[in-house]
């Protein structure tokens, strides 16, 4: 991958443009390898499927940042840097172990069950239709700006009843915070985001509705299940997780259909393949590369390596989903392969809360696009640029030309 630092490979620009070949090389030798992140932090990167599931589901891999202060800000020689996150945004369930995790997750589970999410289907379809109505026949658009971003952000903002202005600022702060590579920009975006969410909570206090966010604000006032800090962090987690990922599900999925015309033709010919296609989007080139930081509470043996106690561990979901020992012919994109088994939504107690919603949005998005348009990639594939984020695997933009079906 180019540069090495202290004898370890550093994940650089090349890695983000094509992480798959690098992962395949690591998987051959060992299930987990020490690497250096762009900003200098040394982490163990878990790349094989079985070990990925183990690390995601095992309590010896803690998620509790509070137990490991400063660990994620260090460079490869152990010097601590500035805090990455405004602490008021960090007190959410994805940064906690049981029992705090259990308490917080219980407060929001009901709103995201498959049954509740299914009730959103007509509204999600309507939002998708409205967005596509705005695209002129024959236009070349950035599919991310025109469709893949506004669809999930509108859905999650409506679920939480968040007013529409400031959504662009929100997107920018959110992008900076999840990219995780620029401590200076993160130092500005964190407090701006925290202040915005604080205003939002106050707005909900002054204007309570019968929405789900108002119920959470109420829970923080009336009993001790949710502190003010946890409320702000919960809003942050739901809003960020609710759109940063699904935008990549839609755009990576469409990209892969365009790069595999036989698969696109098969999907056009038989729409019952849509749910399976979404599963293959998730497996083949999922929205999340490396799951969030974990910390070993003791030495952990993993195949032929031992990860020492108090190490920072990242599990590559992209890599696990390409592990040949679990997925035959793993590098081929096949929307008819038996679905399931992938770890694109994680595994264990932090398994994605929003998985039913993400699947629904993915299915509706791809169905609506195929119903209305013939699509073609409007850029050479090698000019497409992937975001330099260890967490998110998504493009900066996806130029596509759209021709209305039946309009020629």
Residues in contact with ligand HEM by CB under 6 A are: 56, 93-94, 105, 156, 237-238, 241-242, 245-246, 249, 286-288, 291-292, 317, 344-346, 350, 352-354, 357-358
- Report, in Å, the least distance between residue 134 CB and ligand HEM: 23
Of 31 and 394, nearer to ligand HEM (C-beta) is 394
- Report, in Å, the least distance between residue 7 CB and ligand HEM: 27
- Report, in Å, the least distance between residue 210 CB and ligand HEM: 19
- Report, in Å, the least distance between residue 2 CB and ligand HEM: 27
Of 42 and 53, nearer to ligand HEM (C-beta) is 53
Using the 8-state DSSP alphabet, how is residue 344 labeled? Answer: T
Of 36 and 55, nearer to ligand HEM (C-beta) is 55
Q: Which helix (H) or strand (E) holds 137?
A: none
**CA distance readout (Å), 105 to 54, 55, 216, 230, 351:** 21, 20, 12, 11, 11
Of 349 and 377, nearer to ligand HEM (C-beta) is 349
- Report, in Å, the least distance between residue 196 CB and ligand HEM: 18
Instruction: Enumerate the H helices of 30-113 as residue ranges.
Output: 49-57, 87-90, 100-109
- Report, in Å, the least distance between residue 50 CB and ligand HEM: 17
Of 46 and 291, nearer to ligand HEM (C-beta) is 291
Of 45 and 237, nearer to ligand HEM (C-beta) is 237
Q: Nearest residue by C-beta to ligand HEM?
A: 354
- Report, in Å, the least distance between residue 359 CB and ligand HEM: 8
Of 33 and 246, nearer to ligand HEM (C-beta) is 246
Cβ atoms < 10 Å from Cβ of 179:
19
- What whole-number distance in Å separates Cα of residue 95 and Cα of residue 87? 11
Q: Which residues contact 224 (CB under 8 A, 6 or more apart)?
A: none
Using the 8-state DSSP alphabet, how is residue 376 labeled? Answer: E
CB 126 within 8 A of CB 383: no
Q: Six-digit token pair at 92?
A: 């959410």
The closest alpha carbon to 360, from 274, 237, 289, 256, belongs to 274
CB 231 within 8 A of CB 216: yes
- Report, in Å, the least distance between residue 6 CB and ligand HEM: 26
- What whole-number distance in Å separates Cα of residue 372 and Cα of residue 274? 15
- Report, in Å, the least distance between residue 4 CB and ligand HEM: 27
- Report, in Å, the least distance between residue 13 CB and ligand HEM: 23
CB 323 within 8 A of CB 30: no
- What whole-number distance in Å separates Cα of residue 61 and Cα of residue 18? 27
Orientation of helix 150-160 relative to helix 355-372, angle to 10°? 140
- What whole-number distance in Å separates Cα of residue 76 and Cα of residue 78? 5
CB crowding 196-210: b at 16 or more within 10 Å, else e: bbeebbeebeeeeee
Of 288 and 395, nearer to ligand HEM (C-beta) is 288
Of 36 and 288, nearer to ligand HEM (C-beta) is 288
Of 14 and 351, nearer to ligand HEM (C-beta) is 351
- What whole-number distance in Å separates Cα of residue 27 and Cα of residue 49? 9
Q: Six-digit token pair at 319?
A: 């890599």
Q: Torsion over CA of 177, 179, 180 and 181, rounded to 10 degrees?
A: -130
Report cis status (omega within 30 of 0) of the bond before 99: yes
């Amino acid at each position: 991958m180019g540069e090495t630092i202290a004898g370890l490979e550093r994940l650089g620009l090349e890695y983000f443009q094509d992480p798959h070949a690098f992962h395949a090389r690591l998987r051959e030798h060992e299930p987990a390898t020490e690497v250096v992140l762009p900003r200098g932090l040394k982490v163990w990167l878990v790349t094989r499927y079985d070990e990925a599931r183990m690390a995601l589901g095992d309590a010896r891999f803690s998620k509790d940042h509070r137990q490991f202060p400063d660990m994620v800000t260090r460079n490869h020689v152990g010097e601590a840097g500035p805090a990455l996150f405004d602490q008021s945004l960090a007190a959410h369930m994805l940064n906690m172990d049981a029992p705090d995790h259990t308490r917080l997750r219980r407060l929001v589970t009901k709103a995201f069950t498959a049954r509740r999410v299914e009730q959103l289907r007509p509204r999600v379809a309507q939002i998708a239709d409205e967005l596509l109505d705005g695209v002129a026949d024959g236009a070349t658009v950035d599919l991310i700006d025109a469709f893949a971003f506004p669809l999930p952000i509108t859905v999650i903002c409506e679920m939480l009843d968040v007013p529409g202005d400031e959504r662009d600022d929100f997107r920018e702060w959110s992008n900076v915070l999840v990219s995780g590579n620029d401590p200076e920009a993160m130092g500005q975006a964190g407090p701006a985001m925290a202040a915005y969410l604080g205003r939002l909570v106050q707005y909900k206090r002054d204007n309570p509705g019968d929405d789900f966010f108002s119920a959470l604000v109420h829970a923080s006032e009336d009993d001790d299940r949710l502190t003010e800090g946890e409320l702000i962090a919960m809003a942050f987690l739901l809003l960020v997780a609710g759109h940063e990922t699904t935008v990549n599900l839609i755009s990576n999925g469409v990209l892969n259909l365009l790069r595999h015309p036989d698969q696109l033709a098969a999907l056009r010919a038989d729409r019952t393949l849509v749910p399976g296609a979404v599963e293959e989007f998730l497996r083949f080139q999922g929205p999340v590369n490396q799951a969030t930081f974990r910390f070993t509470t003791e030495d952990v043996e993993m195949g032929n390596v031992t990860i020492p106690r108090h190490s920072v561990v990242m599990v590559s979901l992209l890599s696990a989903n390409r592990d040949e020992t679990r997925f035959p012919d793993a590098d081929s994109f096949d929307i008819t392969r038996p679905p399931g088994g992938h770890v694109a939504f994680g595994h264990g107690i932090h398994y994605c809360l929003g998985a039913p919603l993400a699947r629904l949005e993915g299915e509706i998005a791809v169905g609506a696009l195929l119903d209305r348009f013939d699509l073609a990639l409007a850029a050479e594939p090698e000019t497409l640029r992937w975001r330099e984020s260890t967490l998110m695997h998504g493009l900066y933009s996806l130029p596509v030309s759209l021709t209305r079906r039946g309009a020629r």
